[in-house]
């Protein structure tokens, strides 16, 4: 880095010789029209900054198309590289009114105009212009007009733009006089020396023409000229990338002749020498770049806060009003109010007053109050904010910080002035209402949602490049599926064997991947933050530029969340928590069905049924406790107190799990290990966690109790330990030991305790957050234990539209909950056109499948079907159905899905035949109904009465089940593996149910037969390729992991979706439940050769028989079949008598070999399900 570049403030830039500054540059934030990265793939400043330093350039500008998306990131990176940042924008200028949205195709909608911020006034005006371009002038592009420029031109330097600028366009159209008039108008608007005619030479003939005329115009009108290069990519070879990006953005192919393209490869970040050579006859155009750069001095502050103002009632200040509300709230929370509670409130209020955050608390209190008053569920708390008694008194949180030992300074540290962070959970169905209330309260121009930027990930980049290069979508899928999810192309080429093999063997694939590598990680599109909202004291566009999202019709910031915080703005997360909606819906159902006034906040925290459910690990669907690994931990811990549930959230994380802390905690909890304390002073602090520091708050408390730290100092220690900065840690160690010695604690003990605290800080969890979410977990467990039907219905309905149909690589949550219902002996009834509601509903002692949970059945279609049925009565036939529903909403696609889901099966005797008949010529049937104008016609036209037709082939059971899987996401009325059940049992040594429910030790050796699904090729943390898949049978499914021994491993070929196999290996317990580390895989057809070996797994065979059928002939037939399969395992009979609760179990003198043939023959005589194989 040159001295000049490193210290640009110390120089008069105009005095520099043989230098140049790029004033017109497009980064990746021009979104598919700029290939200049601000950050490279390693998170370092991009190539443009490196080149600027290499060329001894003192400054660099950013002028993205119509936006300032990257301005702050660019500003910070440029300064870190020792370069002066010049913030600009190539705006879209319309010659008419920005408000005109009815422009004809022959009219010019907009021209390009380059604007640079000279000073902070100019930066403010640039924010205003770019914002209004989106919020007022958006019409295909964010447009500004003359009216806006007249209002917001101060502090801006304008350049006339590229060939798409208004003046160059007029010159090319040979309208020189009009060009002269426009140029003079811009000169007069911006003022002398603030408007430049922009000269470019990218090898285009039109530019030569324009440049000659612009020089003349400049001379005649006294307007200076300046040279730019309209940089779109860093170096000449990257011109191809720009072309690829343009094709991705326009949906075109590189091979198309009539498409948007750059005619030359000269739009790169040229050196001063190259620019001098291009403009050697107009040297002033080069020196003027330095002149402009010397004038541009924007200083952006990152150390100020901009809190919005809350309007308090007359006679109050924000501080006094907060104190009034908090004191009143405290009296409602505690009766009577004790000195400890009152003192804590006064202390917190004094800190809030000192830090100037009263308005912040009032703003949060106000919108939380609105939510509660409008029936929108609010969470009990989230994050460190639950540690504030002011928040508790105001009703912002619902966790008593004193009861749970929560610390205010963990939330707000007076020694470290950072913006408070009170994230609030709302029911996801009501979140938008709260945000809208905030908009109305503070003004829509003071509130904005927050933008996000989507980058091109490896798989997507490959698909995009494939398409623009003219390859088929199938080619893109084939290549991209070989990339392990979440990995970069670089990593995949290094470690994914199949991907690397394809890369090296296929030249076309190599070109695709090499191109994709160069665009991977670039910004591709914008989105909206799911929860983030910014609230500002003045118009938001005074602090950040605004954008308009036309798809969502929402105003957002142009800066993402971290940048907003950096600028000192109040960013609030209005989080939509689905679980709160589940609780609210379950409560509604309880009140509806049981005629009670149920309130979830009033439930006891020591409910026996709840803790019994937890002890048994039946926590599928319980908030935060439903993963397989967490269920395992819950069973081990056997919670009996709310504090145990709070601890689970802190324990179930990689650090504690991998360190052995969890096992030690469980052992101490059940008195299998001795509880030790290094000093008596820590016992009261660590007693609730059995002597193990589990929470960050405990670190703070120990620092206070042992070393005399203030609460703020203790929080500083916590933060220092989490960041592990050596010099800060050493300073803290000295302070801690010195403080301990003052309290008569020996130095060696103090040092030991500090080391233990430091080691623990890796795993420490925020207790405030754990407590708040522990309460929600308990509430959901309570509902499941006490109101199982209502809870499961609410849970199932919460997944409609979210997860009913996942890709083959994922397991649907809806399916998990359906399976849990079955495990709870709750029957799920098939969807039925005359019984199903829009959503899942309770029907007697079962749950009826909801219509809108079927694929392609939207809310409108389901509502139309159900409302018509309620209004006019049940549908009598398929024809009756078609004649009554609105066929614009209930269209062909909807009806097809309904048929495949089996909702009309009640209209015929055979579901296979009925579905085939209804789907046959469906479009014609619908058209005929339309021609009848909705009239009801004879049922014998089509429908169930056509069952006698001979030309329709009925669907098989397998085909019907496949249809269900297609539109429901799983098999509901049966399972295609059912016909293989007996055979699968032979080759399975341990049932999945047994493995999941029993606390078997790790490394249980087993064989499991089933169907392969969800195959993924991944890269491990140890950088080894492996295959992950789901192995499914009628007992459930298990995650399989297979590490191939070599690239041509034969077992890899057996791991194909839908393949029936026997997998052998070890079952281990992991964070997310159990998994099978597969060692060997055999196709089912091959396993049959080794049937005798597998039969050794069985201990006995039991035959189920019923007493009314028993006679000598009947028993003799059984004996003859058994004798045909000798030399096996003991045979038992389970004899069922009418009215008996249990069968009589009889041990016989016979043995039998339970082969497939035996099972088939005996069940042919006794009936399906008559054989029980005991292993």
- HSE-CB at 590 with a 13 A cutoff on CA atoms is 19
Q: What are phi and psi of 195, to 5 degrees?
A: -125, 130
**pTM, whole model, 2 decimals?**
0.83
Question: 792: closest CA among 851, 838, 845?
Answer: 845
Q: Report long-range pairs for 219-223 (Cβ below 8 Å, ≥24 apart).
A: 220/180, 221/180, 221/183, 221/184, 221/187, 222/187, 222/192, 223/183, 223/187, 223/195, 223/196, 223/197
- Segment among 74-83, 94-103, 327-336, 839-848 with least mean pLDDT: 94-103
Average pLDDT of the residues in 907-929 = 86
Whole-angstrom Cα distance, residue 458 to residue 470? 19
Helix (H, G, I), strand (E, B) or coil at 467: helix
Structural contact between residues 425 and 577, judged by C-beta atoms closer than 8 angstroms: yes
The pLDDT value recorded for residue 756 is: 83
pLDDT value at 942 more than 70: no
Whole-angstrom Cα distance, residue 568 to residue 298? 17
Helix (H, G, I), strand (E, B) or coil at 521: coil
Whole-angstrom Cα distance, residue 650 to residue 1107? 56
Structural contact between residues 151 and 131, judged by C-beta atoms closer than 8 angstroms: no
Q: Would you state the torsion angle of the CA atoms of residues 1040, 1045, 1047, 1053, taken in this order, to the nearest 10 degrees?
A: -40
Average pLDDT of the residues in 1017-1034 = 85
What's the pLDDT band for 586 if we cut at 50, 70, 90? Answer: very high
The answer for 251, left when phi > 0, alpha when psi is -120 to 50, beta otherwise, is left
Cis peptide before 336 (omega within 30 of 0): yes
Write down the residue that tokens 């798409």 correspond to: 164
pLDDT value at 1003 more than 80: no
Helix (H, G, I), strand (E, B) or coil at 607: coil
What's the pLDDT band for 930 if we cut at 50, 70, 90? Answer: low
In this predicted model, what pLDDT tens digit does every residue of 107-118 receive, in sequence order? Answer: 568 999 999 999
Average pLDDT of the residues in 432-441 = 93
**Strands, DSSP E only, in 78-177?**
84-93, 111-117, 143-144, 156-159
Write down the residue that tokens 């090319």 correspond to: 172
Domains of the chain: 3-295 (3.20.20.140), 318-442 (no CATH), 451-568 (1.10.10.1600), 594-775 (no CATH), 805-852+859-968 (no CATH), 978-1095 (2.40.50.140), 1100-1174 (no CATH)
Average pLDDT of the residues in 600-611 = 95
CA angle 286, 287, 293 (to 5 degrees): 100
How many CB atoms neighbour CB 92 within 10 A?
24
What sign does the dihedral 677-682-686-688 (CA atoms) show? positive
Whole-angstrom Cα distance, residue 583 to residue 585? 6
CA 57 to chain centre: 41
Q: Which residues contact 625 (CB under 8 A, 6 or more apart)?
A: 614, 619, 631, 634, 645, 648, 777, 781
Structural contact between residues 76 and 301, judged by C-beta atoms closer than 8 angstroms: no
What's the pLDDT band for 28 if we cut at 50, 70, 90? Answer: very high
pLDDT value at 936 more than 60: no
SS3 per-residue string spanning 422-441 = CCEEEECCCHHHHHHHHHHH
In this predicted model, what pLDDT tens digit does every residue of 867-913 receive, in sequence order? Answer: 999 999 999 999 999 999 999 999 999 999 999 999 999 998 788 88
Question: 88: closest CA among 107, 111, 69, 108?
Answer: 69
User: For the purposes of burial, counting CB atoms within 10 Å of the CB of 473, is it exposed (0-12), middle (13-18) or buried (19 or more)?
Assistant: exposed
Structural contact between residues 144 and 127, judged by C-beta atoms closer than 8 angstroms: no
pLDDT value at 81 more than 60: yes
The pLDDT value recorded for residue 1057 is: 85
The pLDDT value recorded for residue 944 is: 41
In this predicted model, what pLDDT tens digit does every residue of 642-694 receive, in sequence order? Answer: 999 999 989 988 888 878 889 899 999 999 999 988 889 889 999 999 999 89
Q: In the 8-state DSSP scheme, what is residue 1129? A: E
pLDDT value at 943 more than 60: no
Structural contact between residues 623 and 776, judged by C-beta atoms closer than 8 angstroms: yes
pLDDT value at 252 more than 50: yes
* Beta-bridge mates of residue 157: 116
- Residue with the bigger pLDDT between 608 and 1105: it is 608
The pLDDT value recorded for residue 13 is: 42
Q: Which residues contact 61 (CB under 8 A, 6 or more apart)?
A: 21, 22, 23, 24, 25, 85, 86, 87, 88, 116, 293, 296
Helix (H, G, I), strand (E, B) or coil at 696: helix
- Segment among 266-275, 709-718, 794-803, 985-994 with least mean pLDDT: 985-994
What's the pLDDT band for 925 if we cut at 50, 70, 90? Answer: confident
The secondary structure of 248-293 as a DSSP string is HHHT--TT-SSS---SSS--B---HHHHHHHTTT-HHHHHHHHHHH
pLDDT value at 3 more than 70: no
The pLDDT value recorded for residue 803 is: 55
Six-digit token pair at 203?
């090898």
Q: What's the mean per-residue pLDDT of the chain?
A: 88
Structural contact between residues 398 and 779, judged by C-beta atoms closer than 8 angstroms: no
* Beta-bridge mates of residue 90: 65, 114
- Residue with the bigger pLDDT between 629 and 45: it is 45
């Amino acid at each position: 880095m040159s001295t000049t570049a490193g210290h640009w403030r110390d120089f008069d830039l105009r005095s520099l010789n043989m230098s140049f500054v790029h004033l017109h540059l497009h980064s990746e934030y021009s979104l598919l029209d700029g290939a200049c990265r601000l950050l490279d793939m390693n998170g370092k400043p991009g190539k443009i900054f490196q080149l600027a330093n290499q060329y001894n350039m003192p400054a660099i500008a950013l002028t993205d198309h119509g936006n300032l998306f990257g301005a702050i990131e660019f500003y910070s990176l440029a300064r870190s590289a020792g370069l002066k940042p010049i913030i600009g924008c190539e705006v879209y200028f319309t010659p008419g009114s920005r408000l005109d949205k009815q422009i004809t195709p022959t009219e010019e909608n907009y021209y390009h105009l380059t604007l640079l911020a000279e000073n902070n006034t100019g930066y403010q005006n640039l924010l205003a212009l770019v914002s209004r371009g989106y919020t007022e002038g958006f019409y295909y592009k964010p447009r500004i007009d003359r009216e806006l420029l007249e209002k917001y031109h101060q502090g801006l330097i304008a350049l006339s733009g590229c060939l798409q600028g208004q003046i160059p366009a007029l010159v090319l159209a040979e309208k020189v006089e009009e060009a002269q008039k426009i140029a003079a108008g811009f000169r007069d608007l911006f003022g002398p020396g603030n408007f430049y005619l922009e000269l470019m030479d990218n090898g285009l003939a039109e530019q030569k023409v324009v440049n000659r005329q612009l020089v003349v115009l400049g001379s005649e009108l006294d307007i200076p000229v300046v040279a730019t290069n309209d940089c779109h990519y860093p170096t000449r070879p990257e011109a191809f990338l720009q072309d690829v990006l343009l094709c991705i953005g326009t949906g075109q192919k590189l091979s198309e002749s009539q498409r948007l393209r750059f005619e030359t490869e000269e739009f790169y970040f040229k050196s001063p020498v190259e620019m001098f050579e291009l403009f050697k006859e107009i040297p002033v155009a080069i020196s003027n770049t330095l002149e402009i750069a010397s004038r541009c001095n924007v200083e952006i502050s990152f150390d100020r806060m901009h809190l919005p103002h809350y309007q308090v009632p007359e006679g109050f200040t924000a501080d006094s009003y907060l104190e009034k509300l908090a004191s009143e709230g405290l009296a409602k929370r505690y009766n009577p109010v004790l000195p400890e509670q009152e003192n804590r409130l006064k202390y917190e209020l004094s800190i809030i007053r000192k830090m100037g955050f009263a308005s912040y608390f009032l703003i949060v209190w106000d919108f939380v109050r609105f939510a509660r008053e409008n029936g929108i569920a609010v969470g009990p708390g989230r994050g460190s904010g639950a540690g504030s008694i002011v928040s508790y008194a105001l009703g912002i949180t619902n966790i008593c910080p004193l009861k749970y030992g929560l610390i205010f300074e963990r939330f707000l540290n007076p020694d470290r002035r950072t913006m408070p962070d009170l994230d609030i959970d709302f029911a996801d169905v009501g979140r938008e209402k709260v945000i809208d209330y905030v908009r109305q309260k503070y003004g829509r121009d003071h509130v904005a949602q927050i933008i996000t930027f989507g980058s091109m990930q490896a798989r997507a980049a490959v698909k995009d490049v494939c398409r623009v290069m003219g390859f088929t979508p199938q080619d893109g899928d084939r290549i991209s599926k070989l990339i392990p999810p979440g990995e970069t192309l670089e990593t995949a080429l290094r470690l994914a064997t199949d991907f690397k093999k394809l890369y090296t063997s296929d030249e076309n694939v190599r070109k695709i991947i090499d191109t994709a590598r160069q665009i991977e990680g670039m910004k591709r599109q914008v989105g909206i933050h799911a929860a983030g909202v910014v609230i500002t004291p003045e118009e938001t566009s005074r602090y950040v530029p605004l954008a308009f999202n036309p798809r969502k019709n929402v105003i957002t910031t142009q800066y993402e969340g971290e940048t907003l915080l950096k600028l000192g703005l109040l960013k609030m997360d209005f989080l939509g928590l689905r679980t709160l909606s589940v609780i609210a819906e379950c409560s509604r159902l309880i009140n509806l069905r049981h005629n009670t006034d149920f309130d979830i906040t009033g439930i006891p925290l020591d409910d026996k049924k709840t803790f019994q459910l937890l002890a048994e690990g039946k926590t599928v669907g319980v908030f935060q406790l439903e993963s397989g690994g967490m269920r395992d931990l819950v069973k081990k811990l056997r919670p009996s107190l709310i504090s145990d549930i709070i601890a689970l959230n802190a324990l179930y994380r990689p650090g504690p799990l991998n360190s052995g802390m969890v096992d030690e905690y469980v052992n101490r909890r059940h008195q299998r290990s001795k509880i030790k304390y290094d000093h008596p002073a820590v016992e009261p602090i660590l007693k609730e966690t059995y002597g193990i520091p589990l929470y960050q708050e405990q670190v703070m408390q120990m620092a206070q109790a042992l070393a005399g730290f203030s609460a703020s100092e203790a929080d500083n220690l916590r933060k220092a330990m989490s960041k592990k900065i050596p010099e800060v840690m050493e300073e803290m160690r000295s302070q801690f030991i010195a403080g301990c010695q003052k309290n008569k604690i020996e130095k060696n003990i103090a040092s030991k305790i500090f080391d233990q605290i430091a080691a623990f800080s890796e795993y420490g969890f925020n207790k405030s957050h754990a407590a708040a979410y522990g309460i929600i977990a308990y509430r959901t467990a309570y509902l499941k234990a006490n109101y199982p039907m209502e809870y499961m219905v609410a849970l199932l309905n919460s997944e409609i539209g979210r997860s009913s149909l996942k890709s083959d690589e994922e397991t649907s949550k809806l399916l998990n909950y359906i399976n849990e219902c079955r495990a709870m002996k709750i029957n799920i009834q098939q969807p039925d056109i005359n019984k199903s509601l829009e959503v899942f509903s309770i029907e007697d002692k079962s749950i009826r499948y909801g219509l809108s949970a079927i694929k392609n059945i939207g809310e409108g279609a389901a509502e139309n079907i159900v409302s018509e049925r309620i209004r006019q009565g049940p549908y009598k036939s398929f024809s009756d159905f078609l004649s009554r529903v609105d066929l614009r909403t209930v269209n062909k696609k909807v009806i097809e899905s309904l048929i495949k889901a089996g909702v009309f099966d009640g209209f015929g005797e055979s579901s296979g035949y009925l579905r085939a008949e209804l789907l046959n010529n469906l479009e014609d049937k619908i058209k005929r109904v339309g021609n009848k104008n909705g009239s009801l016609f004879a049922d014998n036209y089509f429908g169930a009465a056509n069952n006698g037709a001979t030309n329709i082939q009925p669907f098989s059971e397998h085909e019907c089940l496949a249809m269900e899987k297609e539109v429901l996401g799983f098999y509901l009325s049966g399972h295609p593996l059912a016909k293989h059940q007996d055979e699968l049992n032979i080759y399975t040594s341990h049932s999945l149910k047994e493995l999941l429910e029993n606390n078997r030790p790790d490394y249980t050796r087993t064989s499991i037969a089933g169907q392969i699904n969800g195959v993924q090729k991944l890269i491990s943390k140890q950088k080894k390729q492996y295959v992950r898949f789901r192995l499914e049978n009628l007992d459930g499914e298990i995650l399989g992991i297979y590490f191939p021994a070599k690239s041509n491993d034969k077992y890899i070929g057996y791991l194909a979706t839908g393949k029936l196999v026997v997998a052998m290996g070890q079952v281990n317990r992991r964070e997310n439940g159990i998994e099978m580390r597969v060692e060997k895989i055999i196709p089912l057809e091959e396993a049959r050769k080794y049937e005798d070996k597998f039969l050794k797994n069985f201990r006995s065979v039991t035959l189920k028989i019923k007493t009314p059928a028993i006679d000598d002939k009947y028993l003799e037939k059984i004996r003859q079949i058994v004798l045909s399969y000798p030399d096996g395992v003991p045979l038992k009979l389970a004899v069922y008598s009418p009215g008996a609760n249990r069968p009589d179990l009889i041990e016989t003198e016979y043995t039998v070999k339970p082969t497939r043939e035996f099972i088939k023959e005996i069940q042919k005589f006794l009936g399906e399900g008559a054989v029980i194989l005991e292993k």
